[in-house]
Amino acid sequence: MAEAKNRRQKHLGDKSAQSSSGNGSALINDVRDSAEDEPKENIFLLWPNIIGYSRIVLAVASLYYMPLHPRTCSLLYSVSCLLDALDGYAARYFEQSTRFGAVLDMVTDRCTTACLLVFLSSAFPRWAIVFQGLISLDLASHYMHMYATLAMGGAEQSHKNVDKSRSRILSLYYTNKNVLFIACALNEAFFIALYLLSFSSPLLSPSLLKQVPPDAASAIHQGAEVDSSLLKQIFTNPYSAGALELARANKMDSFWPWVLAGVSFPVMALKQIINVVQLVKASKWLAEGDVRARTAQGLPRRRKRN
């Protein structure tokens, strides 16, 4: 291998000599060819992106356990959220920051939060319109911000590079890693707390006050019936271990979920305000570009009056 490297260096040296005699294009072409011979990185297998795939697997697993296993679901969902900080650290440590990784991270965040809010809409039907509004605001705000960054700032500009002149609160939110982590973590913590309260607080879920009927209790202890259907093997009978977990939810202590909800609520509310600011600022930025483009095209054209 060392011999091949020496031959390659000698070859480049010969081309350099040719360049000094006026044949500079030969060296340029040779350097270009050697660059094309270099092995290409597989962006999909960089460490930050592998961590991103792990987040997706954990999130999907948490969704499977979400209807009936609150403890297991909360653990899986929380680990998936915490890995959001690890992939950013890995990207900086290994110098593997990529646009694919940034989009993967944002899409995973939006999808997992939306799925949890969909469940909360079914758990608290009276507040469904609030959760639907939060989903819409979250998706619209981040999509508008990302699109405005690409359209107005250029493909090379990161959506996290927000100038203070455009928005001080967005600049602080995106450029300060501690602020970003605390805001995102406590925002998710509030919704996880609501999820746990849907299983443990009779105040929010009056149905928890009802006793399990004797027939249902006996069915729970019998377990799921064996069925040849593949779907029923995957999504088991409700009167199985999952239903037993739901019955035990009546005994789940709601104290700590209430504490978590109370502590995280102000940060969650601030996060929604930031989403509104982000949506408004991105809309104004796009409108500024539209005004410049229309002016360059000579629009609006004034029509002659008869």
**Residues with catalytic function:** 109
Burial class of residue 243, CB neighbours in 10 A (0-12, 13-18, 19+): buried
In whole angstroms, how far apart are CA 296 and each of 281, 289, 292, 301, 304? 23, 11, 6, 12, 21
User: How many whole angstroms separate alpha carbon 34 and alpha carbon 26?
Assistant: 12
Taking the C-alpha atoms of residue 103 and residue 159, their distance in angstroms, rounded to an integer, is 10
Return the C-alpha torsion angle 276, 278, 279, 281, nearest 10. 120
Q: Can you say whether the dihedral through the CA atoms of 179, 130, 275, 63 is positive or negative? A: positive
**Number of Cβ within a 10 Å radius of residue 31:** 12
Q: What is the DSSP letter of 143?
A: H
Please count the CA atoms within 13 angstroms of the CA of 143 that sit on its side-chain side.
8
Full 3-state SS string of 228-258: CCHHHHHCCCCCCHHHHHHHHHHHCCCHHHH
Under 8 Å between Cβ of 110 and 63? no
Residue with tokens 């969650």: 268
